[in-house]
Amino acid sequence: MESRERLITARFALVVASGLLYFLALGVVLPVVPQYVKHDLNGGSVEVGVAVGALFVGAVLLRPYAGRLGDRFGRRVLIVSGALVVGGSVLLYGAVDSLPFLIFARALTGLGEAAFFVGAAAMIADLAPMDRRGEAFSYWSVAVYGGMAFGPAIGEAVLDAEGSGTVWIVSGALGGLAALLGAFSREVPRPEGEPIDKRIINRAAVGPGTVLFSGLIALAAFSAFVPLYVDDVSLGSAETVFLIYGGLVLVVRVVGAKLPDVLGGRTAGTLALAFTTLGMLVMASWGTTAGLIAGTVALAAGASLLYPALLLLALGAAPDTERASVLGTFSGFFDLSQGLGSLIVGGVASFGGYRAAFAAGAVAAAIGVIGLRLRPTTTTHPVVLDDAGALASEHPAP
């Protein structure tokens, strides 16, 4: 019997550990930024949406370029520089009590986020044996959703005990540690040959990315307004909600890592969008703690499958030499959904309240179902889950 090529190596573990620290850094500030805008800067729903979305505006500007840079110059420079920019920019959040300054700092965070995300995801794909990539990204999911599940709980605890200023320091320190670990990572040989599509925007990712944009507006509403909505349902803190969300997504991603391959990207994506629509409708129509929790469970089920299912479609339409480029373009639609999406749901919330913003997320996800079902099913570079590159490299809105 042939032994399988080793997956868990020191180099692999180093990237995963760096990713865990990085996503903890993002998760720590996740529930704090909306509260900081509302209570410290006297902002309303629109201002909350702008501040949350500014990160993704910065990210979407750099993400496609980061993909091309990663394919050309390597992954480590993106990992180290990205983590340093994220950590440094978060330290600026409380430097000036000004909403425009916070928006500027959040946009800087987005630039760093784009670089780290693409670099780390591509390096995980590079390090994994061809027949164990699905398993590799199950482990990567532990870093992604471990950080995003426990980071908000840490952020809420630090906020209650020490205030927002200490939250920024904790997040900045975690970003610095992520950069330190990333500095010890090593490049591996990548597929030879020139990319077929040398444009900044990779065409293979545009169709699936557009559906992703529509489906993840719901996540923008969830991330921006659940920390404020918990007061309306007398929950007191968003810590429990984010733990449920992150924990469930982590479990589904690890246990159901092969579902997109078994079901196919189109079917898995349709199911994900259906669960997302259901979750947001429950939150919008059932204004109680139970409704918020039930909606969160359904949303988590959808979010766990949506990104990998649609990325499977995108990667199936491009050669391996364009892996980081596809990741960059496709992930840019995630950023766009959280940046522009936060503005959209912020405007809706300013007129109709938080539950109206949740309803807007449901409508957007339903539109995504229509777009996906109308999309042609042909692919030029078929892949299966184990060959798909970075199926678990997505993250909830930081």
- Within a domain: 2: no
Question: What is the tally of structural domains in the chain?
Answer: 1
> Nearest CA to 387 among 208, 128, 57, 149?
128
Q: Which amino acid is at 202?
A: N
Residue 189 CB contacts under 8 Å (≥ 6 apart), including other chains: none
- Within a domain: 243: yes
Two tokens, residue 27: 């998760």
How confident is residue 393, by pLDDT bands cut at 50, 70 and 90?
very low
Q: What is the average per-residue pLDDT within 98-103? A: 93
- Within a domain: 163: yes
Handedness of CA 62, 65, 71, 74 (dihedral sign): negative
User: What is the overall mean pLDDT for the chain?
Assistant: 83
Residue 300 CB contacts under 8 Å (≥ 6 apart), including other chains: 244, 245, 248, 249, 252, 279
Q: Which amino acid is at 143?
A: A
Hey, how many other C-beta atoms are within 10 angstroms of the C-beta on 40?
A: 14
- Within a domain: 97: yes
What CATH number did the domain enclosing 66 receive? 1.20.1250.20
Residue range(s) defining the domain that contains residue 102 = 10-187+199-387
Whether the predicted pLDDT of 57 surpasses 90: no
* Per-residue pLDDT tens digits for 294-348: 999 999 999 888 887 887 777 776 666 666 677 777 877 887 887 788 889 999 9
- Within a domain: 131: yes
In this prediction, what percent of the chain has a pLDDT beyond 90? 40
- Within a domain: 242: yes
Residue 55 CB contacts under 8 Å (≥ 6 apart), including other chains: 106, 107, 109, 110, 113, 338, 339, 398
Q: What is the average per-residue pLDDT within 66-71? A: 72
What is the Cβ-side half-sphere exposure of residue 301, based on CA atoms within 13 angstroms? 15
Please state which of the ranges 140-149, 195-204, 340-349, 383-392 shows the lowest mean pLDDT. 383-392
Residue 163 CB contacts under 8 Å (≥ 6 apart), including other chains: none
